Amino acid sequence: MSDQLDTLLSEQRRFSPASTFAADANGTPALYESAARDREAFWAEQAGTLEWIRPWDRVLDWTPPHAKWFVGGKLNVAANCLDRHLTGPLRNTAALVWEGEPGDRRVLTYWDLAREVRRAANALKQLGVRKGDRVAIYLPMVPEAAMAMLACARIGAVHSVIFGGFSAESVRDRVNDAKARVLITADGGYRRGQVVPLKRMADQAMAEAPSIEHCIVVQRRPGSPGDESFATMKEGRDHWWHRLLDSVSSESEPEAMDAEDLLFILYTSGTTGKPKGIVHTTGGYLTQVAATTKYVFDLKPADVFWCTADIGWVTGHSYVVYGPLANGATVFMYEGAPDWPERDRFWSLVETHGVTILYTAPTAIRAFMKWGTDHPARHDLSTLRLLGSVGEPINPEAWMWYQAHIGGGRCPIVDTWWQTETGGIMITPLPGVTTTKPGSATIPFPGIVAELVNDAGTVLPQGGGFLTLAAPWPGMLRTIYGDDARYQETYWSRFPGRYFAGDGAKVDEDGYWWILGRVDDVLNVAGHRIGTMEVESALVEHPAVAEAAVVGKSHDLKGQALAAFVTLKDSHQPSAGLKDDLKAHVAQKIGAIARPDDIFFSADLPKTRSGKIMRRLLKDIAEGRALGDTTTLADPAVVSRLKDTYESQEA
């Protein structure tokens, strides 16, 4: 981290907004001024751009650490994203432009999408789903994923979207935690030319998920109409999406939801072995995602907005579905991998669909850099006018490459810091307003109060420290599903009265934020959050493993990669075969994203006298650094032994 800090400190480049962009930008300096004058009034003004069934009585009730926004107000998220656009020209405008990995395409106008969502809402109702019930969604990136979310929102059901790359066991645990009544999945999804058998995994999950009463299956495999053989359907429980929707009417009234009614639960990794169900509610969340989409992405009617995140992550929720549709945008959605069939797939998609705004992750940008400039250079990318980055710190070289080779030197870059917990963007430039510095997420969005604190919780005007949020914001998580004590402990106990984000950061002399990454036991692997404890729990469930410690190791493309130190039971011997076995075991338990890059066998693990594994030391070893202070160790000899074996195994 100190190397990283040095590089960032020496970053002197500045990019001030082009006057042509600024002249027409949605964002203005006045937004910051009005939010600084009266934060609640600013957010109320943003909320006022939505359609409310009943106005709110109070903007905010704040009983730390519990916030209620737009108290007493009633609205429906799906009606805001769809119905209200149907009376004007948006009715016949593309809401979703989609391309599947095999190249199949669909375009849904706002009218089309609204009709499908109403039918899906009625289908859910017909299966007995009521307001407040939980519905799990385990789908590839197909239009039905957005429809399913919006259908839940329409009837007041709470969705829990589970990333399609997660394993059956991860699905089971999430479904059980939320006690979902319905699971929506697909026969499969395409990834690098292969079909990911989602329904088969869903079947395994449902075998141990007693709350599931019904499963709805989207038929995804193109070119095989009527071929339903890929998924085995269980009579009475399983229903084809297309048949179910054909059997219901397309009339449905949106449910009047309280501003604080649950909209969704989204599981994310924390510092224990058990993922946290992050709870988001209706009015505040929609207000923040709608406002940030409008100002950060500068959306205009002619734009084609492509956020490359999967719907299984918060970025997909807020900036593929809710934020853009609330703004009446045209959203482009792509199902598959960026290197399929060739490494220019993204650029071919930008050219084909005339994408104007691209929002992606540094890990992808670093892969594109490695693949070379020929791929983007072969395509006409002149429609692009704004680029975004999210999910992890973007290194200045990647920022500069993105700016030059994708943005043609003319597109502003918005590096946006936020989290599953924050619901929407928190620290970001406003294009046309904010001067950017490569590698810095710049300054808090209007109405957001971010403060840097030291270990003792003292606020620092600049320097290095921890990123905290000192005032509630509309899109904030309300709690952890079913575990409010964990909510209070995780986010509000380290620095009383403040939300602790878990990130280390630096603030420079201009007040610009440079996010340095997680300071807790959460890793960021290729932009995905993975808890070290989750991977450790998966490893120790393997019959050969006695103990395991997992650390993050710097990685050129992924940002961080997983390195696991494993001690075996006496009955097992280290071998290359066992390493492969353990990697496959983790992938099967959690999902391929958690597969460790390296596994090292070791006779002991370094522990403090109180028995805590010293992960920091392991990280030093994994990254080949000189060892830090080992005086608190129970047995310092363990470390030098470990370092020796590590180096010999690595060679």
Q: Which two tokens stand for residue 433?
A: 């307003």
Distance CA 575, CA 649 (A): 11
Site string for ligand WTA, 247-286 (x = CB under 6 A): ---------------------x------------------
166 belongs to the binding site for ligand WTA (CB under 6 A): no
420 belongs to the binding site for ligand WTA (CB under 6 A): yes
523 belongs to the binding site for ligand WTA (CB under 6 A): no
**Amino acid letter, residue 526:** A
**Which range touches ligand WTA (CB under 6 A), out of 63-71, 230-238, 241-249, 389-397?**
389-397
Smaller CB separation from ligand WTA, 284 or 362: 362
**Which range touches ligand WTA (CB under 6 A), out of 180-188, 296-304, 386-394, 625-633?**
386-394
Smaller CB separation from ligand WTA, 213 or 397: 397
**Which range touches ligand WTA (CB under 6 A), out of 311-319, 334-342, 405-413, 600-608?**
311-319
Distance CA 208, CA 175 (A): 10
Contact pick of 419, 468, 537, 602 for ligand WTA (by CB under 6 A) = 419
**Residues in binding contact with ligand WTA, number by CB under 6 A:** 23
Smaller CB separation from ligand WTA, 284 or 504: 504
Smaller CB separation from ligand WTA, 95 or 286: 286
Contact pick of 123, 171, 198, 441 for ligand WTA (by CB under 6 A) = 441
Smaller CB separation from ligand WTA, 548 or 594: 594
> Which parts of 312-331 interact with ligand WTA (CB under 6 A)?
313-315
The pair phi, psi for residue 552, each rounded to 5°, is -95, 145
**E-strand stretches of 508-597:** 513-518, 522-525, 528-531, 545-555, 559-568
**Which range touches ligand WTA (CB under 6 A), out of 125-133, 328-336, 409-417, 548-556?**
409-417
**HSE (CB half, 13 Å, CA atoms) of 628?**
13
416 belongs to the binding site for ligand WTA (CB under 6 A): yes
Strand 74-75 versus strand 257-258 pairing type:
antiparallel
In sequence order, the 6+-apart residues with CB closer than 8 A to the CB of 446 are 31, 32, 34, 35, 36, 42, 295
Distance CA 135, CA 151 (A): 10
Residue among 524, 592, 140, 530 nearest 361 (CA): 524
Distance CA 268, CA 558 (A): 18
Torsion of Cα atoms, 391 then 396 then 399 then 400, to 10°: -170
**Which range touches ligand WTA (CB under 6 A), out of 147-155, 213-221, 400-408, 497-505?**
497-505
Scanning 186-335, the segments in alpha helix (DSSP H) are 198-207, 241-246, 283-296, 314-316, 323-326
418 belongs to the binding site for ligand WTA (CB under 6 A): yes
Contact pick of 501, 548, 593, 613 for ligand WTA (by CB under 6 A) = 501
Distance CA 15, CA 445 (A): 18
Q: Which residues bind ligand WTA (CB under 6 A)?
A: 268, 313-315, 390-393, 415-420, 441, 501-503, 515, 517-518, 524, 529
